[in-house]
Structure 1
Amino acid sequence: MEKKTYRLFKKIFETLKPPPDLTLSQWADKYRRLSSEASAEPGKWRTDKCPYQREIMDAITNINIKKVVVMSAAQVGKTDAMILNPIGYYVHYEPAPIMVIQPTIKLAEGFSKERLSPMIRDTPVLTERINDGSRSSGNTIEQKVFPGGHITMVGANSPVGLRSRPIRILLCDEIDAYPASAGSEGDPLLLASKRQTTFWNKKQIDISTPTIKGMSRIEVEYENSSKGEWNVPCPHCGELQPLKWANVKFDKENLNKIEYICEKCGAIASEVEWKEKFTEGKFVHENAENPVKGFHLNTLGSTMTTWREVVEKFLLANEERKKGNVELMKVWINTEMGETWEEEGEKLEEDDLIKRCQMYNCEVPQGVMYLTAGVDTQDDRFEVEVVGWGVEHESWGIKYSVLYGNLDQEEVWQDLDLFLDQTFTRQDGIKMKIRCTCMDSGGHYTNKVYKFCKQRFNRNIFAIKGGSESTAAYIQKPTKNNREKAYLFTLGVDTGKSLLMGRLKVEEEGPGYCHFPRDPGTGYDKKYFEGLTSEKKVLRYKKGRPYFTWELAKAHKRNEALDCRNYASAAIEITGLPLKKQDEQQQQQKKTVKRRRRRTGGIA
C-alpha cells in the first residue's frame, strides 16, 4: 500500500513540476520543426544556422526585458525566429494570451493559414495543445485556443480586434506598414499596448524592415532602444565589426569574386571566410543599459542569402537610379541594408535647367521614338507640352504652348484639337503624330473635358485626375464612372513628380536624361522653367503621422509647366510602347512571334 501511494504521489509531483528553464533558442532547437511550406530545409530547427537570431530570441523570453525591437533587412528569418518561435514557446512552455498584429486583416489571415497552422501541424508539442483541425475546438483562422491562453491574429487596420481583450504577449510584425490610425481610434500600436496593462510580466516585440527616414515607426523604436548592431570578427585579425556596404569589394563585370575589407587591419577576405566566423559574432549595444533591447542587422550579415544576390540587386537599382528612377534603390536600402531611405526635400533650381538648353535645329531630334502630350486645364486657357521619348525614357521637350480663350466657347477647344492633331517632322524627315495625351479634368470644366476626350478616344486622348494619396501608384486602372462614360485615369501625381524630379537630376545624356530646346518659338523660356521647378517635397504631419507632399515654393505662384510634363510622362506609360534600342525591340518581337506560334500550333 505504501509503495502504491509513493508511486502515485511521485507521478503527481512529476506532472506538477515546473519545466526546466529554457531560453527561446534552446526551446526552438529542442522542439521546433520547420514546415515544408515555409522552409527549403524542413525538419528540426537549428539556431546555429543563423547565429544572429540567438541573442534576439533569448531577449524575447528574458523575464527582465519587457520590450524587444528588431529593425533589419528582409531576408534574415524574422517571421520564423521572432514571431513563430515565441508563439510556440509560450503555447508550450508558458501559456499566456498572445496577439499577433499584421498590417492588414488579410495579411493576418494569410499568416495564420500559411505560417502558423503548418507550424502547429508539424511541431508535436504544439499539435498536442492546439486542436487546429477540429471545428468543435472553437478555433478559427483568426484565433487559436490552447490550455491557459489563446493566439489572436488581427490587422492593424482593425480597431475592434486591437481592443478586444487583455493580452500578455504582443507580437507586432512589419510595423512600418501599419496605417497611421486604426479606423478613427488612433495609433494601432498604442491601442494594442493598452491591452497589456493588467500583466506585470508583459512582453512586446516590434519588428520591421524600415522605410523612409522621419516616417519610419521602427526607426523611432530602434533609436529609443539599446541600439544593438550585429558584429562579426575579421577572419584575419579577429576584431569585431559591423558589416558595411562601403567595404564590399567587387568587379561588376565579374561577380564570381566578391570580397570584404576589414575596417581594422585592412585585410581582404571572401564571403565564405567571413561567414565561417559568424558563429562568433554578437550584437554590440550602443546603450547597453536601456531596458528596451534593440537589434539591427543587414543582409551582408545574413546566412539566408549570398553577397552576390545583394550586389546584383544593387547594380540593377543603381542603373535605374542613373535614369532618374530611385524606387529600386529605395527598396534596396530598406530591404538589403535594413536602413531608412532619406528623401531629398530640396527643389531644383531653374537656372541649372536653363543652362542645359541646346539648339535642336529641327522640330524633333533624331533620338525621339514617340511623342506624347500633357494638357493642363485652367478657366481661361489650356497649357500644353509635347514631349519626345527615346531609349529608356531619355526625353526631349518639343513644344510648350498656352492657348488662351473662353472655355465656355468652342473656339479654344477647336484650337486645342488642332494643336494635338498637328504633325511634327523628325530630323531624318519622318512625320510624327502625338501617340497619347493626358488631359487634366480636375476642377475646371470637368464634363467638357470628358466629352472632348471621349470623342477623341481613337487618338488616345484621355482624361486624368490626381489621386489624393501621396504614395499612390503612378498609373491606376481607368474607370468610366462619369456622366460622359469617358475613360478616366487616376494618377499618383506625387509619385509622378518624384519620378520626374529624379530624371531632371540626371546630368549625363542617355537613359532618363531630359533635353530642352533653345530654338525660337518652342516656348521654353524662363517662365517655363520657373513653373517646372516651382514645387519642392516637404515633410508634413497628419494626425501625428508624418508624410511627404509636393508644395509650391514661396517664390513661385504657377506650376502648370510641372503638371504638363507630369501628364506627358504619364501618357508614355499609358501607351505601354517599348523604349528600347531597335535591336532589343526586334529581339522582343521575335520572342513574341515564337510564343504566338507555340500557342497557335505554328501560325504566327
Structure 2
Amino acid sequence: MSQWADNYRQLSSEASAEPGKWYTERAPYQREMMDAVNDATVETVVIMSSAQVGKTEILNNIIGYHIHLDPSPILLLQPTLEMAEAWSKDRLAPMLRDTETLRGLVKDPRSRDSGNTLLYKRFPGGHITMAGANSPASLASRPIRIVLGDEVDRYPVSAGTEGDPVSLAKKRTTTFWNRKLILTSTPTTKGASRIETAFEQSDQRHYHVPCPHCGEYQVLKWAQVKWESGEQGHKPDTAHYICEHNGCVIAESDRAKMNKMGRWVAEKPFTDIAGFHINELYSPWVSLAQMVTDFLRAKALPETLKTWVNTSLGEPWEEDGETLDADILLQRKESWGDDAPEPVVLATAGVDVQGDRLEVEVKGWGVGEECWSLDYRVIYGDPAQDNVWNELDAYLLKPIRSKLGVQLNIACVCIDSGGHHTQMVYEFCSKRAVRGVFAIKGVSQAAKPLVGRPTRNNRYKMRLYPVGTDTAKEVIYSRLRVTEPGAGYFHFPLERDREYFLQLTAEKQVVRFTKGVAKREWIKTRSRNEALDCTVYALAAFKLLNPNLTQLAEDIESIPRSVPENTPQETQSPKNPAWIPR
C-alpha cells in the first residue's frame, strides 16, 4: 500500500500543508502502518497516536488503494454524521479529484446516473459508505469488507440502543474471509479508552530509532526532551533530545535522519492484531521547540495538560485515583473580608433549582482561571411563584465590591432548567438574556463540550445551552486537586461550612462496562450535591463568556481613580467582557 501511495497519491492543497506528490519517506514510520493492511495474516490494525502524525492521510491512502487496485465494500466510521459529511467534503473529495488514477472511478454525485451521495459513493467493484457512530441507521444494511474507524475514543458507548458502534460495524464484515478492521484515535482517559484497549490486545509495536551519535536504538519519550531556562524564562528554541543510553545530545536537525533509520518493534506476541503507537516526537511537522511551547502553555491547568498528553504524546491520561476529601478542602478556607480579592476581574454565577428553593453561588475569576467562591446564597420559597425569582433578580443585580476600588457586575449567569420548574426558568432567562442570564440543560455523557451550541426549541425561542456535566466535573475535580494558589486554584472563604464541602465532593467517577465497553460515569456518594451543581453552572457561565482575563485585568487597572484605591468607586465598574451567543 505504501508503494501505491508513492506511485499515485497526490495531496490536495485544501487538505494538506504540503500539497503535491506523496512521499512515504517524509514520515517513514507510516510505511509499516499502511503495509499491515495488505498483510494476509493481519485482520485488525490499531493506530494509537498523537495528532500531527499523518493518520488521516493513511486512512485516505487505504481508501484510494482499494478503489484503484482492490475494489471492496468500505465503511468509514466517524464519531458523528456531521464529521462523516465533513470528511467526505474536505478529505475524500479532494483526493478523488487530484489523484489521477482515482479521477473518474467515483462519479460526481451531481451526475444524473451516478447514484452517489455525500455519504455513499460507488466505484467499479465496490462502494464506500461514510457513517456516524451516533447513528444506528447509518450502521445498518450492507455487508462490508473494510471497516475504517476514525477517532474511536470519541464514539458514544452505544449507537442509539443498538450497542457498541465498533462491534456493530465489525459484524458487517463476517461474510468476508479477507475482512479488515482499522481503528485509529488519539486516546482519552486510561481505563476508559477504546483505542488503548484495542492497542493492549495487539502486538504493541513501538518505533525505535537510532541515536545519531552512539547508534543505540530507543523509543522517543517526552522525559528525554530538555531545554534551557533562567531568569528570562523558558527557552523553547534550545530544545534537544538526550539519548537514554549514553546521554548524547540529539539536535532537532538529527530527527529526520533518525526517522529514516527507524524500525517497528513489537512488545507482545502477534496473533492477528497489529498495533502501532506513535507520538509527535517523530512527526516531521512538529518541532521540539513547538512541543515545548505547547507543553508550557498546557501545564498550567490539569484539563489542558490532559489534552496535551492525549494529542501530543498519544498517551491516555491517568486520573488521580484518590477521591477528594471534604475535610482537606475545609482546611483551605481563608479570610479576605467582604470585598472581592484584588486578583478577581470577573464574576459569574450558577443557579440550582430545587423544589422549595434556589441555590446560587457567585464565583470570581482571575488570570489563569484562578477562582474564588465570593458568595453562596439559598433563596427559600416555591420556585413556581414569582417572589422567589424576584428575589433572585435583585440578588444578581447587586454589584460586588472589589479591593481594586471598583465594583464588579455578575457578567454571566447559568440556571439549570433540566429539573424542577423548567418553564419558570425559561421565562426568567428569556427576559434577561441581554444581561447574560441563560438557561442551561445538563448532558451527562463523556467527552461532551463543557458548553455546546444552543437550541431554541422552546416556547420562548430563547437560547438553551447544553452543558457537558461530566466534562465540567472532571475540570472542577482536577482543579480542586491543585494545592498551590495560582492558575486553576480554587479559593474558599471562612464562611463556607463543612456541609458545603461535603456537597462539593459528593460525587466520584467510576468505570462501568456496558456490553463489554468501558464507560466512565459520575455517581453520587451522598444525596446532597447542590454546591457541586452550582459550581458546574458558574464554570459553564465562565466558559460561555470565554473572556480574556489578562485583558480584563489591564482594563481594570486603567480605570482612573480619584479616591484612595481601597475605597470602591460606586459609579465605576470594569467593562464586562463582550459575550457572543453561540
TM-score (norm. length: structure 1): 0.81
Counterpart among 175, 180, 194 of residue 198 in structure 1 = 175
Q: Unpaired runs of 5+ in structure 2?
A: 560-582
- The letter of the residue matching 2:531 is A
1:305 aligns with 2:286: yes
Give the equivalent residue in structure 2 for 1:287: 268
What do residues 334-372 of structure 1 show as CA deviations (whole Å, max 9, x unaligned)?
Answer: 221111122345432122222222222444333333444
Name the counterpart of 1:343: 319
Q: Mean alpha-carbon deviation: is it higher for 96-105 or for 454-463?
A: 454-463
Cα separation, 1, equivalents of 2:454 and 2:96 = 44
Match of 1:563 in 2: 533
2:202–2:270: 8 Å Cα contact kept in structure 1?
no
Kindly indicate whether the alpha-carbon contact (under 8 Å) linking 1:496 and 1:570 is maintained by their aligned counterparts in 2.
yes
Alignment map for 1:112-261 (pairs within 5 Å) = 112-127=88-103, 129-132=105-108, 135-251=112-228, 253-261=234-242
Is this contact kept in 1: 2:46–2:276, CA < 8 A? yes
CA contact (8 A) 2:370 2:488 kept: yes
Q: Distance in 1 between matches of 2:284 and 2:399?
A: 59
Aligned length: 554
Distance 1:479 1:112 in 2: 26
Look up the match of 2:578: none
The reply to whether residue 536 of structure 1 matches residue 512 of structure 2 is: no
Alpha-carbon separation, structure 2, partners of 1:60 and 1:584: 56
Deviation of 1:254 (Å): 1.8
Q: Quick check: 1:344–1:537 contact (8 Å CA) kept in 2?
A: no
Q: What amino acid is aligned across from residue 451 of structure 2 in structure 1?
A: I
Contact persistence 2:450–2:543 (CA under 8 A): no
User: 1: CA distance between counterparts of 2:471 and 2:336?
Assistant: 30
Distance 1:270 1:420 in 2: 57
Q: Determine whether 1:31 maps to 2:8.
A: yes
User: Is 1:103–2:84 an aligned residue pair?
Assistant: no
Q: Deviation string for 1:294-344 (max 9, x for gaps)?
A: 11111101223222222222111113x1xxxx3322222222111112234
> Max radius of gyration: which structure?
1
Aligned to 1:72: 49
Q: Tell me how far 1:243 sits from its aligned partner.
A: 0.3
Once the two structures are superposed, the pairs formed by residues 390-405 of structure 1 within 5 Å of their partners are 390-405=366-381
Between the aligned partners of 2:114 and 2:465, the Cα distance in structure 1 is: 49
Amino acid paired to 2:468? G
How far apart in 2 are the matches of 1:219 and 1:250?
A: 30
User: Deviation at 1:29?
Assistant: 2.3
CA contact (8 A) 1:532 1:561 kept: yes
CA deviations on 1:507-557 (whole Å, 9 max, x unpaired) are 222333222222xxxx4122222222222222334454433333222xx43
- Is the 8 Å Cα contact of residues 108 and 142 (structure 1) preserved in structure 2? yes
* Corresponding residue SS for 1:276: helix
| Distance verdict in 2 for CA 1:276–1:381, change over 3 Å | same
1:120–1:132 Cα contact (<8 Å) kept:
no
| 1:384 to 1:103, Cα distance in 2 relative to 1, 3 A | closer
Superposed displacement of residue 404, structure 1: 3.9
CA RMSD of aligned residues (A): 3.3
Written as runs of structure 1 = structure 2, the 5 A alignment for 1:318-329 is: 318-319=299-300, 321=301, 326-329=302-305
Matches of 1:530 and 1:394 in 2, distance apart? Answer: 21
Alignment of 1:335-414 (within 5 A): 335-405=311-381
* Cα-to-partner distance string for 1:268-316 (whole Å, 9 max, x where unaligned): 1112123312111011101243221111111101223222222222111
Instruction: Give the 3-state SS of the residue equivalent to 1:124 in structure 2.
Output: coil
Q: What corresponds to 1:314 in structure 2? A: 295
After superposition, the Cα gap between the structure-2 partners of 1:172 and 1:234, relative to the gap in structure 1 and judged at 3 Å, is same
Q: Which one of the candidate residues 479, 483, 487 is aligned to 1:507? A: 483
State the distance in 2 between where 1:138 and 1:486 align. 41
Aligned mate of 2:25, from 48, 53, 62: 48
Note the 1:413-492 alignment, pairs <5 A: 416=392, 419-422=395-398, 424-427=400-403, 430-432=406-408, 434-453=410-429, 460-477=436-453, 482=458, 488-492=464-468
SS for the counterpart of 1:511 is: coil
What amino acid sits opposite 2:69 in the alignment? Answer: Y
Amino acid at match of 1:46: Y
1:270 aligns with 2:251: yes
Provide, for residues 58-110 of structure 1, a one-character-per-residue CA deviation record: whole Å limited to 9, x for no partner: 221122322222111221112323x2223333333333333333333343343
CA distance in 2, matches of 1:486, 1:30: 55
